[in-house]
Structure 1
Amino acid sequence: MVEVVRASVSLISKQWSNAMSLFHEKFSALPNLISTHGVESSSEDEFLSLLFGTRTSPALHHFLASSLGEAGLKRIAKAVDSAGRDIRGIITEHLQPAVEIISFRLAELRGLSRWRSRFQTIGLDGNLIDGVTESIGMLVVQVERFSRVAATVVYLFQNFFAWVLKSVRILLNEPTDQVPAANSELVVIFLKFLLDKDPIKQLLEADERIECDMDTARHVEQLVVFGGFTDTQFLEKSLVNQFNELEDSLKEAFLMPFTAISSQIQCQGLLPLYPVTSSATLSSSCSPTSISFYKDEDSSHEESSYSLTDYVCLKIPDGSLNKVNCIGVIKGSGNCCTTLSMMSLSGFLLHIPDGYECVDLSLYKDNQVVLLLSETSCSDSPGKSWMVMLQIENFSFMPLSGTFPANIYSLQKLVALDLQLDTDYGKVRSIPHTVSTPFAVSASRGVACVFSSRRHALVYILDEDEEAEGDETSDME
């Protein structure tokens, strides 16, 4: 989530910088024209004179009619409007949710660190965690402030461009009935505070200090009495500065040596699945994994006497265990970790057909596993994908013998079975799109949600036949 915040802020800065570069490139010609005509005034004074109808100087007339023109003005307005929409989308879809998730998770961690009756102590310094919690709270406030400032600035730009467009058409004796009406008071505010200043850029710079009036600072100091924060200078910090402080406080809190670990948090055993080398391919990969528990067939139907067996389904990274394009299913790992013995372990490997890759996977009810496969064809035509529902009981589990830690990676001894999409291994469904993670499966509802590369969500009813595909699939933006 921290990386999402960093990438979002970087993208916002890039989008706004591009729009402002175009704006300043065009409007920087006005001061030069004023100087050329020998007039001692500023761009703000010239626009205010035009707004209040006192005069239109030759320099401003030349700028609006020739240097800028209606086409140039519309181009700038379109760039600023597009940047505003992109920024609003990044904030609502990425930046704000990521900050809220970080805040929620840190609050949970803070609560666990204080729940001494259950966890005693988890080795985190209370004062440092309090500092992290306050930093993320201030970042939530900064994101909300930035969202409001960005919306206000973009609206003021739109109002200013509408007024300038009307002025250009009046100077060129063209009709103005199709031009949106502009608010003169907002034009004055724009000329006073935005023509030569950039509040959005200020909030996106790390070394920028935001000016705060005395009344606001006094109100903030009064709010400290109610608790929740101690930093009364946070309004003087930019969004990037606040984010950097959060990163520093996170590093300080989590790099603190663990002096005591709760006895309630224990690791009774380890089940190594596959080796991870230092190569960039394996170290940066994220292998899909799913864990679930199923009721044993021979167990009693009484709820109090259920016997459960754990299953682990995972995709083995290419190159690890000398396997390529394989998935593995293991059962009985819970007993293994308890007794440090691998006698109860068993599993099998499945080789995905050539030309396909396993995008994601999930265990499902009734000892089933659902695979999401996508074509790996390099052609320009849109690829297809497949959702395969396999019955685990149709495969032979081979025992994984050996005693821990000898023969650590026992999966390496298994021979991978070839998965055939046209056999009776299970139900196969065709998806006419390339798909991406995440792959969500709900056993209680009996549905699976697949995300296509076109940013559509495809919802499938898993327990029905494919003939009803028109009724079971919904396509949503």
Structure 2
Amino acid sequence: MPAFRQVGEKQLPNPVLCMAWSPRRDLIALANTTGELLLHRLACFQRVWSLPPTETTGKEITALAWRPDGKILAFSLGDTKQVVLCGVEKAEILHVFPVENSVTCMHWMEVTDDCSALNSFFNSEDESNFFLSKLPSLPKSLKFLFLFYSEDKSDEIMNLLGEVRLNILVLGGDNGFVELYAYGMYKIATLTGVSGSCCSLSLSNDLKSLSIITEIMSAEDKPEICYVQMDTGLLSDCLPEVTRMARKFTHISTVLQYLHLSLTCMCEAWEDILMQMDLRLTKFVQEKNTSTQVQDEFLELLLWGQSRSPHLSILCVLSKGLKKLGQSIESSYSSIQKLVISHLQSGCEALLYHLSEVKGMSLWKQKFEPLGLDSTAIEGAITAVGSFSLKANELLQVIDKSMKNFKAFFRWLYVAMLRMCEEHVPPELNKMTQKDIAFVADFLSEHFSANEELFDRKGKYFNVERVGQYLKDEDEDLVSPPNINGNQWLKFLQESKHLKESPLLFPSYPQKSLHFVKRMMENVIEQCLQKPAEIIGKSVKQAAFLPLYTVPESSNTPRLFDMPSLWNDKKAKMHYVVFNMPHISPCKLYLLRKETDPNRSVPNNVISIALSRLFDRANDDAAQSHGYNCLDARFYDDEMLTVVLQGAEENNSKRILAQLPLTSALSCEAPFNWKTNLRLDQQSSSIPCQGLVLGNQLRELESMKAQFVAVNGIRKVACVLSTNLRHIRVFEMDVEDEEEEGADSQNATAGQDVLHNTMTSEGQGEESVEAGGDPVDNEENGLTKSNERLDSKEDLELT
């Protein structure tokens, strides 16, 4: 009689490379070979959404990790070397950041140390909401804003921090690449001294150590699996300070991304229509065969009300949409003006507030100097933000002047066009004072003089439109910088030596665009944020290096599923590593224990579990005839191991899903003296061995060539994957005895009925795919209510 209830089974069209259960909900994330990310619910293995790959992000997902609260899913892309944070509820991309190396493994942990200093910090932070207004939402009407932008995304970006308690995303990759990101966004440490390629890693919840499984080349030129423990004592000793610093820097990172999105919105508002005037004038000057200047011909039209140039007449005739053009330009200018006032200025205020707080922290040298906070670098970042704010104000003045100029110019030109075409001129447009005429004349004299140098540089003769030059992401100087002659304040500054050199005044860059100053500000802030990551990274030292075994050449196990498997025991503050050595002892499973505190050692830190004694207490000879090999093993919880077993004999190919209790194995007191000059596989004969009796904690996997397993002990579920990576079965692992009475053929149906009763809010039919995925096929699920919020289902929350 099976101990586990099968609740779902599916044949997938594409092989699965990664699978990970949510820590809080009955959801499992899958990544396949096409680069598609899928989210499935336990019930009937129903698909919730799919996120297809894009050319900009990448198509090669190499690792998955859930944030501890289950609201955000992180995945890495090998072809573009990026890490993406995805909102689980709507399948929308919230944040993307590049990495130097391809990520091969990741782990997202949450700090659980309940020290009094940290608790007092949790109660006092964060006070920014009392002083800063909420950043305005980004416009919903603009198109092509940002690759990953959606209508309600601005609030999601600002909520990436989640809870106040510190959580850290740990990334591992090739060539010893290991980085730690606070809240999944701010790089808090870049580790050095790790050798080989990372296969698995786990940061302890007390932040005292980081355990890494690496693959290096041995002296025999063979791949060698090693266990490495890194001492992260600085993070643990300065936990309140690290948390406060990381939270502030993550606030700064989110505000920088908000400013980037706001500036992208401004560029979208400034459309090609604003360039049409320049392009039309350039085309006109190239086609006309007269020697007069465009400026002269427009002035003649202004003075006499008509032009003798047939080319200008043709230009006006072709400009039937002139009135609409003027309205579009005015509307675009107004949109940019609102974005500058409400978004850029609000973002600058938030940046200045957070950076000022960080500067205050840096002056508390006793607490924050060991973490690498440099008050001089932070002061430079504050100055850069001030310069960006000045440039935004300069843009406002240019927009205000341009709106007045274009409004007067188009009004006059529209009336002149109607008169030249002998059409009726509305009375309200026919009134033009001498002051208006002088204003248009000054505008024509300043903006309509042809410039040959401008043609060589930009492909046109004119630069009538002055706002767009501020929004172009170019390193060149402004084509038409603002006229500062007659500015009394600037003149006063130039004449005052002390004020000119005062650090209280932000420098201005009148020749540079808004994009240029923004990039300069981002670079300065990035340098300011990187220094603590370097200092903390250098403080992390290697505490232990234990070579385990060499990989046989015949091994073709996919890297993403390969053992060893790491587990972080929160209660015992212990790192567990489970692995097998099929070329040495095929019917044994090995368990390595290591204290999270590198200064403490564990007696009998390595034991082996005999897989030949699982089902009865028969003699050794009889047990050997029923031996099993372990194909995959994952920690179910602190006291249980979930394994996929295969018969060791040639004529015994059946696969078994089983739960191995570790209590008796961990209580083993037999001594083992590890010889540091030898690998573990070279001294395997002296490792203490324990036998286990399973009872009914197993189930034969019929009609399935099972190979891999993913488990979630909190939700009591397991997902088994076949050797071809396409066949999946889902099980409930902890079921009551009375529910198990009946035939095996009724287990799946009974499981679905129970799930239906506990998930009444779902209904039946398809679920819509948020983030551009394809709708779920009818054969994929039997649930019909769409667009349900995942976090609104009480049955999905951890109780």
TM-score, normalised to structure 2, is 0.33
Counterpart among 261, 265, 277 of residue 23 in structure 1: 277
Contact 1:169 1:176 in 2 (8 A): no
Paired letter, 2:383: E
- Report the secondary structure of 1:57's partner residue: coil
Q: Does 1:203 align with 2:505?
A: no
- Correspondences of 1:136-155 after superposition (within 5 Å): 136-155=385-404
Provide the identity percentage: 17
Shift of 1:77: 1.8
- String of CA shifts for 1:147-167, please: whole Å, max 9, x gaps: 332233133212211111111
Give the 3-state SS of the residue equivalent to 1:161 in structure 2.
Answer: helix
Change (3 A) 1:162 1:244: same
Q: How do 1:405-444 and structure 2 match up within 5 A? A: 411-412=712-713, 414-415=716-717
Aligned to 2:617: none
Between the aligned partners of 1:237 and 1:203, the Cα distance in structure 2 is: 8
Matched, 1:247 2:522: yes
After TM superposition, give the deviation of residue 247 of structure 1 in Å.
2.2
Equivalent residue in structure 1 for 2:347, among 70, 83, 98: 98
Distance 2:754 2:272 in 1: 51
Deviation at 1:64, TM superposition (A): 5.4
Residues 1:340 and 2:607 are matched in the alignment: no
Pick from 202, 222, 229: which aligns with 2:505?
229
* Superposed CA RMSD: 4.9
CA shift, 1:127, in A, is 1.9
Counterparts of 2:760 and 2:390, CA distance in 1: 51
Structure 2: runs of 5 or more not aligned: 1-254, 449-461, 541-559, 562-567, 576-635, 641-661, 667-709, 719-731, 733-751, 772-786, 788-799
Q: C-alpha separation between the residues in 2 aligned to 1:109 and 1:339?
A: 36
**How far, CA to CA, are the matches of 1:98 and 1:24 in structure 2?**
33
Secondary structure (helix, strand or coil) at the match of 1:174 reads: coil
Q: Which amino acid aligns with 1:244?
A: R
Q: Report the Cα offset of residue 423 of structure 1.
A: 6.2
For 1:180 and 1:341, the matched residues in 2 are separated by 86
Q: Which amino acid aligns with 1:193?
A: E
Pair 1:96–1:411, CA change in 2 (3 A): farther
Paired position in structure 2 for 1:6: 260
SS in structure 2 opposite 1:255? helix
Q: In the aligned structure 2, how far is the partner of 1:98 from the partner of 1:435?
A: 33
Q: Which of 180, 184, 188 is equivalent to 2:437?
A: 184
Is 1:133–2:382 an aligned residue pair? Answer: yes
Correspondence for 1:43: 294
Matching residue of 1:166 = 415
Tell me the CA shift for residue 17 of structure 1: 5.0
Deviation at 1:134, TM superposition (A): 0.5
Letter matched to residue 190 of structure 1:
F
Q: Which amino acid aligns with 2:285?
A: P
Pick aligned residue for 1:218 from 480, 491, 494 = 491
**In 2, distance between residues paired with 1:243 and 1:165?**
38
1:383-394, aligned counterparts within 5 Å? none
- Tell me the alpha carbon deviations over residues 51-109 of structure 1, each in whole angstroms, 9 at most, x when there is no partner: 233763233662355232xx231242243234224423543454443333333322222
* Map of 2:128 onto structure 1: none
Unpaired runs of 5+ residues, structure 1, are 267-319, 322-332, 343-398, 438-452, 454-477
Which aligned pairs between 1:233-312 and structure 2 lie closer than 5 A?
233-256=508-531
Distance 2:769 2:369 in 1: 45
Q: Deviations over 1:311-335 (max 9, x none)?
A: xxxxxxxxx99xxxxxxxxxxx9xx
Higher normalized contact order (CA 8 Å, seq sep 6+, divided by chain length) = 2
> What's the CA shift for 1:145?
1.8
Q: What SS is found at the alignment partner of 2:427?
A: coil
Q: How many Å apart are 1:220 and its aligned residue?
A: 4.1
Post-superposition shift, 1:337?
5.8
- Distance of aligned partners of 1:74 and 1:245 in 2 relative to their CA distance in 1, 3 Å threshold: same
Paired residue secondary structure (1:235): coil
The one-letter amino acid of 2:424's match is E
Counterpart Cα distance in 2 of 1:117 and 1:63: 76
Do the aligned residues in 2 keep the contact of 1:202 with 1:238 (CA within 8 Å)? yes
Query: In structure 2, how many angstroms separate the alpha carbons of the residues matched to 1:81 and 1:14?
Result: 15
Q: Which one has a larger percent strand, Structure 1 or Structure 2?
A: 2
Q: Tell me the CA shift for residue 427 of structure 1.
A: 9.2
Quick check: 1:401 aligned with 2:651?
Answer: no
Describe the shift of the 1:90–1:419 C-alpha distance in structure 2 as closer, same or farther (beyond 3 A): farther
In structure 2, do the counterparts of structure 1 residues 169 and 114 end up closer, same or farther at CA, with 3 Å as the change threshold? same
- Paired residues, what number? 312
Residue-by-residue CA offset, 1:113-163 (whole Å, 9 max, x unaligned): 123355455312222221111101111111222133223313321221111
State the partner residue of 1:67.
318
CA distance in 2: counterparts of 1:226 and 1:136, whole angstroms: 16
Counterpart amino acid of residue 401 in structure 1: D
Asked whether the 8 Å contact 1:64–1:168 carries over to 2, the reply is no
Give the direction of change, closer, same or farther, for the CA distance of 1:103–1:23 in structure 2 (3 Å limit): same
SS at match of 2:416: helix
